[in-house]
Amino acid sequence: MKTVTKIFQNCGLGIVLLGASLLSNYTLVAVAQDKAVPSQQQVEEVAQRLEGIMDTSARARVNPKAANVRMTACRISLNENAQATNKSNNPIFLYQEQALSSELNKPYRQRFLEISSVNNGRTVRSLSYKPANVQSVINLCNKPVSERVVTSTDLGKPVCSVYLTRSGENYIGVTPNEGCPANFRGAVKITNTVVLSKTGMNTWDRGFDANGKQVWGAKGESYEFRKITQ
């Protein structure tokens, strides 16, 4: 955790994972959709853009103070007894973890994500869960697909919903004006903007104290995750 804290201090940026911030629970409110796309297709597009591996190596090469962070996500299956919160809308479930590229066996953030269509098909929701046993699912994406099966107990507690709306070729979301509750490094609330594209994800994550003063997070530039292949 000391290493992770140092990263935030060096970068001046909150490292965020779509579905929930590392720092707190919050909901993203989507912007207006400019193009009609079938709801299940949007769910599939969001899932596909989150799947795989993305990292911040491009920024790290330019800025020595920026951390090289890797984000990994893969599809999982629920066993027959697990109940999805939005089962009728054919949700897609993912496992996602985030770690320093130099310490991939020590992820500092892990989530299950339930991707589904809401708001009469106009919005895609990413509901995140904190795994009940984080140690047991480390590097879950390295296992064969047949072994990526979890129960409702494994999913853990729902912690956050992110609402994303398609805008052109991207999916965009922002936090409410009042921000979202937090309790990390002096921040009592956070705000965030996320842009999910075909090539990765940009985030602007900011923490504010009780007086409304920004105490950490993005000043201007976003934190950039870009897809990589192996």
pLDDT digits (tens, 9 = 90+) for 209-226: 999 999 988 777 788 999
Which residues sit opposite 192 in a β-bridge?
A: 205
Number of domains, the chain: 1
Strand partners, 21: 16
State both tokens at 183.
């309790």
**For the chain, how far is it from start to end, CA to CA, in angstroms?**
28
Q: Which of 43-52, 64-73, 124-133, 213-222 has the lowest mean pLDDT?
A: 213-222
Q: Does the pLDDT at position 174 exceed 80?
A: no
Q: What is the pLDDT of residues 102-140, one digit of tens each?
A: 999 999 889 999 999 988 888 888 888 889 999 999 999
User: Residue 185's pLDDT is what?
Assistant: 78
> Which residues have C-beta within 8 Å of that of residue 212, sequence separation ≥ 6?
none
Q: For residue 139, what is the DSSP state?
A: T
Query: Span 64-77, mean pLDDT?
Result: 90
219 in any annotated domain = no
For residue 45, being part of any structural domain is answered with: yes
- The answer to whether 198 and 46 are in contact (CB under 8 A) is no
Q: Per-residue confidence at 81, pLDDT binned at 50, 70, 90?
A: low
Average pLDDT over residues 49-68: 89
Q: Residue 145's pLDDT is what?
A: 94
pLDDT at 80: 63
Q: In this prediction, what percent of the chain has a pLDDT beyond 90?
A: 41
Would you say residue 13 lies in a domain? no
pLDDT at residue 146 above 60? yes
In the predicted model, what is the mean pLDDT of residues 94-104? 93
Average pLDDT over residues 164-187: 80
Is 101 part of any domain? yes
pTM of the full structure: 0.76
Cα(194)–Cα(172) distance, integer angstroms: 6
pLDDT at residue 4 in the model: 42
pLDDT at 159: 75
Provide the pLDDT for residue 191.
76
Domain residue limits at 127: 19-168
Residue 46 lies in a domain: yes
Q: Has residue 183 been placed in a domain? A: no
**Domain-embedded: residue 224:** no
Greater confidence (64 vs 96) lies with 96
Within 83-206, residue ranges assigned H as helices are 152-155
For residues 90 and 142, give the distance between their C-alpha atoms in angstroms, rounded to a whole number.
25
Residue 220 domain flag: no
